[in-house]
Chains A and B, each alone.
Chain A
Amino acid sequence: MAKVLVCDDDQSILEVIKIMLEESGFEVVTINSGKGIQKKITEIKPNLILLDIWMPGMDGKEIITLLRRDKKLRDIPIVVISALNDTENIAKKSGADGFLSKPFSMEDLVGVVYKYTH
């Protein structure tokens, strides 16, 4: 079973993503801040990271740079979530693999996760 780490500062989003992905047969771990994300990733070794690019405290872009520098973690695909409607550009610029623009539908979400875990 593919493991997905979801990082977003909005509790409601985390909850609904967890429900949807679990319904679709993924194992989901959620964290609500960028702090300690590196440690958490090393710990659970997810197959995919869903990351909100705009969180208070720690910038999503910094997290991506950080993870890309880590030899053990650099191969884990990252999908950025953003409420800006040119998320695709942001994803490309920051070095993420995929993107999801808020608001997205269940199909979008599952589609993206499926794409990067198979």
Chain B
Amino acid sequence: MPILQIVFSNFDLKIFNILLISMAVISNTALIYLLFKRPVKYAYTFSFIFFLFLINFWGLPKIIINSGFFNYNLYVHLDKISSFGYIFIPSVFIYFTFSFIGKIRLLAKPIPGMAVFLVPFIFLFLSWNTNLIEKRGQADIVNNSWGYESPAGDFFGIFLVWFETLMVISMLMLHKLYKTSLDPIKKRQSLWIFVAVFIPLLVGTITDGVFPLFGRHVFPMAIPLTSIMALIVGYAIYKFDLFEPSPNNILSSIGDGVITINTDRKITFINRSAKTILKIKNSLIGSTFDKAIYFTDQFRNKKPILNSPVTEVINTIKQLKSDQYCLSYKNRKPIPVSVTLNPIKTNQQLIGASITFKDISYEKELEKNKDDFISIASHELRTPLTSLQLFNQLLLKDLEKKKDNKLQNYSIQIQNQLGRLTKLTTDLLDTSRISTNGLSYYKKQFDLNQLIKETIENLQQANLGQKIVYEFGADSKVYGDKERIAQVLINLITNALKYSHSSKKIIVKTKIQNNYTKISVQDFGRGIKKSMQSKIFQRYFRNIEDPSQSGFGLGLYISSQIISNHQGKMWVESKIDRGSTFYFTLPTA
């Protein structure tokens, strides 16, 4: 005799059973409500709702059966309804599992599909027609303290095998998904469902299946334990969006390429657009990023770049954005992309990174056409500029001899304007060559202080109104392209002169720090607004609030590009009406 029967009277146990089943029905119903309330419902959401619905179908009649109100005919009908519930549970649950793990196609095939949903009808027919109730009679039912199970009549054993087989297949599939999925969200979801369903399944199989099969009756726990299942699932829905598809399903259908990787740089997900952009046909899940797919530089070299941005994001755990990279798949022609890399974190812990990208071949093509045009145009302009300048020089010399001051002045004006024109074409040419990687550098060791001194002397002659002073640190031999560094200095100092008319002083300083030299150009002019400070190094930046500004807005862009080619940095510190200090660094030779 089961232990419970010693402690409780039959009546107590029936009440207890009613309470537990009611709780289960209520919590399952609450869960059904919760699932219906989800903004988007998927095939597996509906199959899980149906699964819960069947559990209630199984449980509700039992409340009445155990209530003490006994009517033989009513009992028979309720029992038939109840059996409808549990007979279809494994079919619906395996349908749920298949659609949850994304293999619903297997069940859509005629044979397994028919088998899963037609076999239960056979059991239902058997259950309704060979009902044990009719065989055992009234007395037996009354004697059984916690209600009476009539599991598919005489075929209960076979039904149990069927039930357990489908459930075990489902559980194994969930377990396999948990073990093998590289998508951390899907992994967690499958674990939660596994645990939630496993509890009532295991205990229920023993109390409601194995014991009755051998003619023993213990307190049936299957239905009561579904309330725990409902609680777990409900908790997981609130906490982890359990029934939301892994975002991967959504990401699959968006227009941008999306690849996610784990911290070992193994590809965990790759969406359809990514495959289309990179012309990938096979899966690639599990292969290493930077091997199968890799970043190359913007000039479409086929070699992977040395410092992969992926490694950078994983190491720094910071977002990285760029449209200067290409993506290449297996030595194919690299595709220029605009890419954003983001670290993926759960509970403060880094679990991988996402790589989102757009094909910008067309934009790059346009940009290249523009650069080519600028390059050719500025190049072509320089030849007539040269002869203009030279002829003007001849003219000026002649006018000097003839002491014609008026015409001489005109000629000087022409000369100045030709100088401006030259500067503009130089900037354009430099810019177009920076963006096509055509700007070449001739680097060697040189004396930086000497270069600064010479540059200042030249500029001082032309700007007698403002005083340029220098304060040098220790002798500084740096490694770089002397002409280009001079270009940077000229740019910074002329800017300083231009934007600090009212003040009379510009200070140029050098300072050796560790293994680089820091150069600063300080003025006491009008200063730069905080919001502008990051923008001034951009290509074609022009301050629209300052109509007096002339030129293309390329000087600082070119300078910063030159410095970055020298492995240096360029930045600005500035306060309105106090002046600006531009800094750049160069590696000490």
Binding site for B on A (CB under 8 A): 10, 12-13, 15-17, 19-20, 54, 83-86, 88-89, 92, 102-106, 109
Contact = CB atoms under 8 A, between A and B. Distances in A.
B382 interface: yes
Contacts of B379: 54, 83-84
B576 interface: no
B389 A103 contact: yes
A16 B442 contact: no
Interface stretch (B160-168, B186-194, B422-430, B456-464): B422-430
In this complex, the interface size class of chain B, counting residues with CB under 8 Å from chain A, is 20 to 34
B439 A106 contact: no
Given A10-B383, A13-B386, A85 B430 contact: yes
A15 B384 CA distance: 12
Given A83-B379, A83-B382, A88-B442, A13 B387 contact: yes
Contacts of B426: 85
Contacts of A13: 383, 386-387, 390
A17 B383 contact: no
B385 interface: yes
Given A83-B379, A88-B442, A89-B440, A103 B386 contact: yes
A92 B444 CA distance: 14
Contact of A86 (B382, B383, B391, B440): B440
Interface in B382-417: 382-387, 389-391, 393-394
B421 to A, nearest CB: 9
A15 to B, nearest CB: 8
Contacts of A16: 387, 390-391, 394
B247 to A, nearest CB: 50
Given A103-B422, A105-B393, A106-B393, A88 B383 contact: no
Name the prevailing secondary structure of the A interface residues. helix
Contacts of B439: 86
Most chain A CB within a 10 A radius of its CB, from B383, B394, B418: B383
A95 B350 CA distance: 55
A12 B429 contact: no
Contacts of A19: 394
A105 B389 contact: yes
Given A16-B394, A19-B394, A84-B379, A103 B429 contact: no
11 contacts: A10-B387, A13-B383, A13-B386, A16-B387, A17-B390, A20-B390, A86-B440, A89-B440, A102-B383, A103-B382, A105-B393
Contacts of A85: 426, 429-430
Given A10-B383, A102-B382, A88 B390 contact: no
A105 B391 CA distance: 10
Contacts of A17: 390
B431 to A, nearest CB: 11
Contact of A84 (B384, B429, B441): B429
Nearest to A83: B382
A104 B386 contact: yes
